[in-house]
Structure 1
Amino acid sequence: MFARLQPFLPTTAIFFLIFYFAFHALTGDRGLLSISQRNADLAAKTRELRKIRAERMDLEARARLLRSGSLSADLLEERARSLLGYADPRDYVIRVKRSR
């Protein structure tokens, strides 16, 4: 019986290899069926990158204003009041605990 099936073994092995690679091409991490998930992940990461870049630009601008060559009096006063805990009587102060 084995002698009768021997000519079909290479064909069967090739068929299973083709099936294996086709299955993973469709359902794998980078398969054709996961394109929408990858696009959603890319869009989320792009939004996060924009947010982080905006925060960085804001921090760079604030740091630039605190340099000794171009010191901003308003920003210096704001930081001093924040660090020392002082406030103008007309200010609304909301205390928030920072988690470190």
Structure 2
Amino acid sequence: MWTRHHKKKKFGRLILPAVAVAFLSYFGYHSVHGDFGLRASQEFERQRQTRTAELATLIEQRQMLEKEVELLSDGSLDRDMIDEKARYQLNMSRPDEIVVFNRFFN
């Protein structure tokens, strides 16, 4: 009976570690630089802080506008508020008045 003896190849032992290194390096790179990686999460946090500050200013402006609308509602018309809005819209004032422009008025 004849048997064949195969010589062990050195490259065969390196295939599994090479595949493992390639697999780990691919996922390691994308865990830092990918769309949902560490750098992207830092950018998302920066955007969240910026938009939170913007939301706070918008809420403040909305509260001011709601207060003005409340003063102009039918139930409680404030003569001063009506006079102020009319003068602002018509761009008129008396000669003895001092005009102070508020940046939130439109």
TM-score, normalized by length of structure 1?
Answer: 0.70
- Aligned to 1:31, which of 33, 37, 48? 37
Pairing partner for 2:75 from 69, 75, 97: 69
Residue 53 of structure 1 aligns to a residue whose secondary structure is helix
Q: How far, CA to CA, are the matches of 1:43 and 1:52 in structure 2?
A: 14
Of structures 1 and 2, the one scoring higher in RCO (CA 8 A, sep 6+) is: 2
What RMSD, in angstroms, separates the aligned Cα atoms of the two structures? Answer: 2.7
What secondary structure sits across from 2:92 in the alignment? coil
2:63 maps to which residue?
57
> Which amino acid is 2:29 matched to?
F
Q: Which moved more, 1:25-34 or 1:75-84?
A: 25-34
Q: 1:65-99 deviations in whole A, cap 9, x for unaligned?
A: 1111111111110111111222021234589xxxx
Count the aligned residue pairs.
93
Is 1:87 paired with 2:74? no
After superposition, give the CA deviation of every residue in 1:14-72 in whole Å (9 maximum; x if it has no partner): 43222111111112243224544433322221111100100011111111111111111
How far residue 11 of structure 1 moved from its aligned partner, in angstroms, is 4.3
Specify the structure having the higher radius of gyration (Cα).
Answer: 2
Tell me the SS of whatever aligns to 2:50. helix
Letter of the 1:80 counterpart: A
Instruction: Give the corresponding residue for 1:42.
Output: 48
Match for 1:55: what amino acid?
Q
Amino acid at match of 2:88: S
Q: In proportion to residue count, which structure has more helix? A: 1
What secondary structure, in the 3-state scheme, does the structure 1 residue paired with 2:96 have? Answer: coil
Match of 1:15 in 2: 21
Three-state SS of the structure 1 residue aligned to 2:26 is helix
TM-score for the superposition, normalised by structure 2: 0.67
Q: How far, CA to CA, are the matches of 1:30 and 1:72 in structure 2?
A: 54
